């Protein structure tokens, strides 16, 4: 990169920072005022003309300053990505906030809450189960009317429960024996492997002649160990968008909040922008493709695979004029903390 190109992008990024701070078109004299190298407003104006021609700046009015485009924001964000790093004391602080949560659902909820507190944006966290989840333990509890509560916990603290009705009565001691058998034999196994092995054993051990194996066969047929793939999603801080000038009419603002209330839409947005980018910070400037009312919003997110087999995604949704460095740091720390808490 030659000296002119380096200076051009340094000026561009100064313009982006000034626009983020003030929300107003940036003039050449504003950029010159904050410089230490004495570069004149006239010289900066020439650079801004080149940036305008290259699609990095727009000009709302003839006499006004320039406004950075999505292309300019992407360039600015790239310059921040190279310098983003994890701070051990901050990571420890976030870990401590997650460690008291006993289940994945609680950890996801706390993650979204911390992201909102750290950034004043919309904190989003999701946990998406996969077929590679690892079994920790099961619990079986007898209920009235031949019903049994089946609880399955995986190593990443995802908890699923289901109530089933058996064909006949079952003793608590019998359920305890089944629980001990499954936990002893299969704790630490990937769920898909548990299914294959348990199915094989039930076929081979003449289950019809053993009361415990008969009940285990019935529980298995009614969904024992079927975790499902329903994701957990928590989002917090949507009200923070009320104080941001997104140039939306009242009707468009209403459409935005309606869109944010749709869990499926948020999950699809996360999947679209974060798919296949595990461990890599991703930034999407302008979300108009997801919904017209989101054209002036940006999404900063991270996907991580948790040790127990759940795919987690953490993100912050905010205005295009957000403090990208601060938000990128928050997402990175929360994502890594979620991945390392056991």
pTM: 0.78
Does domain 135-221 fall into CATH 3.40.50? no
pLDDT of residue 342: 67
Q: 88-130+231-340 is classed in which CATH architecture?
A: 2-Layer Sandwich (3.30)
What are the residue ranges of CATH 1.10.10.10 in the chain?
Answer: 3-78
**Integer CA distances (angstroms), 14 to 20, 80, 112, 283, in order:** 10, 13, 31, 19
pLDDT of residue 227: 65
In degrees and rounded to multiples of 5, residue 249 shows phi and psi of -70, 170
Q: How far apart are the C-alpha atoms of 220 and 203, rounded to whole Å?
A: 12
The domain made up of 3-78 has a fold known as Arc Repressor Mutant, subunit A (1.10.10)
What are the residue ranges of CATH 3.30.450.40 in the chain?
Answer: 88-130+231-340
Name, in order, each residue with C-beta under 8 angstroms of 173's C-beta and a sequence gap of 6 or more. Answer: none
Compute the C-alpha angle 22/26/29, nearest 5°. 115
Q: How far apart are the C-alpha atoms of 18 and 184, rounded to whole Å?
A: 61
What are the residue ranges of CATH 3.30.390 in the chain?
Answer: 135-221
pLDDT of residue 208: 45
Q: pLDDT averaged over consecutive 10-residue blocks of the chain (342 residues)? A: 81 89 85 79 88 89 79 87 77 90 90 95 90 88 91 86 88 91 92 86 65 81 76 90 76 87 89 80 87 88 85 92 90 91 74
* Structure-token pair, residue 232: 């957990």
Question: 72 and 50 in contact (C-beta within 8 Å)?
Answer: no
Name, in order, each residue with C-beta under 8 angstroms of 310's C-beta and a sequence gap of 6 or more. Answer: 104, 127, 128, 129, 130, 133, 154, 156, 158
* Structure-token pair, residue 318: 């905010």
């Amino acid at each position: 990169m030659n000296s002119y190109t380096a200076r051009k992008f340094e000026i561009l990024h100064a313009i982006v920072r000034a626009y983020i701070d003030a929300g107003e078109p940036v003039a050449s004299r504003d950029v010159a005022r904050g410089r230490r190298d004495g570069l004149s407003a006239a010289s900066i104006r020439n650079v801004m003309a080149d940036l305008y021609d290259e699609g990095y700046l727009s000009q709302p009015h003839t006499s006004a300053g320039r406004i950075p485009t999505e292309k300019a924001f992407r360039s600015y964000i790239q310059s921040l990505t190279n310098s983003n790093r994890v701070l051990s004391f901050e990571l420890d602080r976030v870990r401590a906030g997650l460690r008291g949560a006993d289940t994945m659902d609680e950890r996801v909820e706390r993650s979204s809450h911390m992201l909102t507190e750290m950034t004043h944006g919309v904190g989003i966290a999701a946990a998406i189960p996969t077929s590679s989840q690892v079994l920790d333990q099961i619990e079986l509890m007898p209920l009235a009317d031949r019903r049994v509560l089946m609880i399955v916990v995986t190593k990443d603290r995802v908890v699923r429960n289901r109530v089933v009705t058996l064909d006949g009565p079952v003793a608590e001691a019998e359920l305890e024996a089944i629980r001990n058998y499954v936990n002893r034999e299969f704790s630490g196994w990937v769920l898909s492997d548990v299914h294959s092995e348990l199915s094989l054993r039930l076929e081979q051990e003449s289950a019809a002649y053993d009361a415990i194996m008969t009940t285990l066969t019935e529980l298995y047929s009614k969904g024992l160990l079927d975790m499902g793939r329903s994701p957990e999603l928590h989002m917090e801080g949507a009200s923070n968008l009320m104080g941001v000038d997104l140039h939306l009419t009242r009707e468009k603002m209403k459409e935005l909040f309606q869109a944010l209330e749709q869990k499926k839409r948020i999950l699809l947005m996360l999947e679209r922008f974060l798919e296949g980018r595990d461990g890599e910070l991703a930034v999407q400037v302008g979300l108009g493709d997801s919904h017209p009312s989101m054209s002036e919003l940006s999404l900063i997110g991270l996907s991580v695979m948790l040790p127990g087999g759940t795919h987690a995604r953490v993100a912050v949704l905010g205005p295009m004029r957000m403090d990208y460095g601060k938000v990128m740091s928050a997402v990175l720390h929360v994502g890594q903390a979620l991945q390392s808490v056991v």
